[in-house]
Structure 1
Amino acid sequence: MASPKPVALTHIGPDGQANMVDVGEKDETVRTAVAEGCVIMQPETLAMIVAGNARKGDVIGAARIAGILAAKRTHELIPLCHPLLLTKIAVDIVEDAGLPGLRVTALARVTGKTGVEMEALTAASVACLTIYDMAKAVDRGMVVSGLRLVEKTGGKSGDYRAGN
């Protein structure tokens, strides 16, 4: 059985220097990415957040806005990311008593020449960090976990869906 051909890293030039990929010749397509993460916490912390009793205010609302803002600024945070004219960003945060904690799902969409995986991942991670920040006074043992790309569609490389 032959080994798969190694994939060249597109952000590294022949001389080893990092560079921004030229996407000018690529076709514009609708590209969507969904990422997720979670914040595991004490059941009492989860109850406080869901009831809206956190001292800093609406934890879920603030985390949603933070995630949206983060997606819009991904190119300022991650070196070599292209600035994108995002057409949709959605951040959904739901209670998951089984963790216990909050599960964050972020969707990013663009019609463009490059993907939006980093925007979705950035939105999910910053939303999780905001939850931690707003509740750390009562639960410093919270854990941000499971940050991953769930799916992506569009572009030359095609669709991707993570396994369970």
Structure 2
Amino acid sequence: MSGDRPTLTHIGATGEAHMVDVGGKSETARSATAEGYVKMNRATLHLIREGNAKKGDVIGTARLAGIMAAKQTANLIPLCHPLMLTKVGVDIVEDETLPGLRVTATAKLTGRTGVEMEALTAVSVTCLTIYDMAKAADREMEIGGIRLVEKSGGRSGDYRRAEGGQ
């Protein structure tokens, strides 16, 4: 950041997009956690819980899709660095208040750049997979709330979203 004005690290002085050079940065332990949800009809949630979706195990398949997506982030987001992730975890839990499923993903590595995009990609693809696998039963599902919850490591330090933060 320059002064109090935020800057975009992937945009050059004349507006061109570029990949940030992280070669001079120190390797540090880094992690990021993101979250999101899929809101659905209670009957759809029950169908998923009971394992009766036409396409099979929604939770298991969606978890695997999220892990695979985190590993492919650099192929999906143009200016992301390919990373050697040491851990990707995806948790999917029922939330009767939605009703639906809440998704949390955590990505970790020791490296020169953060893993926020990998955690966010894991959540996004997990939610999309839940939608895909259950859409025959419920086309009214809603995906939302995808956001970074926390991150640690690197020059910018630790971050944790305030409760109720935007």
TM exceeding 0.5: yes
Q: How far is 1:108 from its partner?
A: 0.2
SS in 1 for 2:9: coil
What amino acid is aligned across from residue 154 of structure 1 in structure 2? G
CA distance in 2 between partners of 1:103 and 1:13 (Å): 37
Residue equivalent to 1:102 = 101
Counterparts of residues 48-127 of structure 1 (less than 5 Å):
48-127=47-126
SS in 2 for 1:39: strand
SS in 2 for 1:108: strand
CA RMSD of aligned residues (A): 0.7
CA distance in 2 between partners of 1:140 and 1:162 (Å): 31
CA distance in 2 between partners of 1:162 and 1:7 (Å): 18
CA distance in 1 between partners of 2:38 and 2:162 (Å): 21
What amino acid is aligned across from residue 77 of structure 1 in structure 2? L
SS in 2 for 1:26: coil
Q: How far is 1:8 from its partner?
A: 2.0
**CA-to-partner distance for each residue in 1:16-52, whole Å, 9 max, x for gaps?**
1100000000010000000000000000000010110
Q: Using structure 2 for the length normalisation, give the TM-score.
A: 0.95
Count the aligned residue pairs: 161
Q: Using structure 1 for the length normalisation, give the TM-score.
A: 0.97
Structure 2: stretches of 5+ with no match in the other structure? none
SS in 2 for 1:69: helix
Q: How far is 1:7 from its partner?
A: 2.2
Q: How far is 1:79 from its partner?
A: 1.1
CA distance in 1 between partners of 2:77 and 2:128 (Å): 17
Structure 1: stretches of 5+ with no match in the other structure? none
CA distance in 2 between partners of 1:128 and 1:22 (Å): 32
Q: How far is 1:15 from its partner?
A: 1.7
**CA-to-partner distance for each residue in 1:121-150, whole Å, 9 max, x for gaps?**
000000000000000001000000100000
Counterparts of residues 12-23 of structure 1 (less than 5 Å):
12-23=11-22
Q: How far is 1:14 from its partner?
A: 1.2
CA distance in 2 between partners of 1:147 and 1:8 (Å): 23
| Percent of aligned pairs sharing the same letter | 68
What amino acid is aligned across from residue 54 of structure 1 in structure 2? A
